[in-house]
Amino acid sequence: MSVRELVRLLTPPILVQGYRALRSSREKNSSVQEGLHLAGDYSSWAEAMAASTGYDSEIILEKTRAAVLKVKSGEAVYERDSVLFDEIQYAWPLLAGLMWVAARFGGRLNVLDFGGSLGSTYFQNRRFLKQLPSVRWNIIEQPRQVHVGKADFEDEHLRFYGDIEACLAKTQPNVIVLSGVLQYLEHPFDALRTLLASPCNHLIVDRTPLWDGSADRLCVQYVPASIYAASYPSWIFSLHRFRSFLSEGWEIVADFDGSDRLASPVETTWKGIIAHRRATPHRVSGC
């Protein structure tokens, strides 16, 4: 009997299944991200824009729309960045954060998903979310995404808005979700400052590139034609600066590693953070 056969014989079946599932997930994740990479060190957003095609593309929106429609109808089980998968790749820490917030509000979850596309994160976690007694998922997006979202995806749970103020005028979210969005904004900390000034007292950040440098680095992200041929500016945030920004009034409950793996000009990790606002005498918990 070979060593491999002996190990297989002695390994409990549940561990074998878990390993196979993890390997399959990693292989699929790697295949999708093959060709995706970050490059450059640009001194301004205008310079990075001049070196890229930009994110504002009808091709990207239409491909995302078609993919998410398949997920909504049940023809596909999961979509991320317009790519369809035959199994859901859960971001378990993000889902745990959502359930933690819901538990603090008696099962009520009201999400402000900033830059949430056409509902990718909502549909990713729909199987778990539908077990909650009350779910409302509000997406803040660009005008064209909002138009498509309202026409094809909006229902009693999923809503679309063109800005934060319009959302807050209609509902009171209890958690902000920022999944793979801050790095694509020209002024990410201005957007983050505005969001943190809202009444929401809980925050979940995911799929955000960070490095150990003292300053943020501006690159261009390249997407291969197998997904959609495009390139657009993307930040790699200084981990120290990012955490320092959040430390002003917010407590980090947990941080975690994301699943993204992109070739980068500096050593980069994709991280996530779950945080809540520190209590003050003039602010109550919740929204």
Amino acid 32: pLDDT: 42
Average pLDDT on 245-274 reads 93
CATH number, position 79: 3.40.50.150
Percent of the chain with pLDDT over 70: 85
Residue 144 included in any domain:
yes
> In the chain, where do the E strands start and end?
37-42, 78-80, 83-85, 108-114, 134-140, 158-161, 175-179, 202-211, 217-223, 230-238, 250-257, 269-277
- The answer as to whether 129 is a domain residue is yes
pLDDT tier at 260, thresholds 50, 70, 90: confident
Is residue 15 a part of any domain in this protein? no
Among candidate residues 96, 269, 89, the one with its CA nearest the CA of residue 175: 96
Structural domain contains residue 84: yes
Q: What is the pLDDT of residue 59?
A: 83
Judged by average pLDDT, the poorest of 17-21, 101-105, 181-185 is 17-21
- The answer to the question of residue 264 being in a domain is yes
Is the residue at 94 inside a domain?
A: yes
Instruction: Give the residue-averaged pLDDT of 96-117.
Output: 97
Give the least confident one: 5-9, 76-80, 190-194: 5-9
Neighbours of 156 (CB within 10 A): 7
Structural domains counted in the chain = 1
Decide if 79 is inside a domain. yes
Mean pLDDT score of the chain, rounded to an integer?
87
Statement: residue 285 has pLDDT above 50:
no
Rounded to an integer, the average pLDDT of 268-282 is 86
Q: What is residue 19's predicted lDDT score, i.e. its pLDDT?
A: 41
Q: Which domain holds residue 206?
A: 37-277
Q: Is residue 269 part of a domain?
A: yes
pLDDT digits (tens, 9 = 90+) for 19-40: 444 444 444 444 345 678 999 9
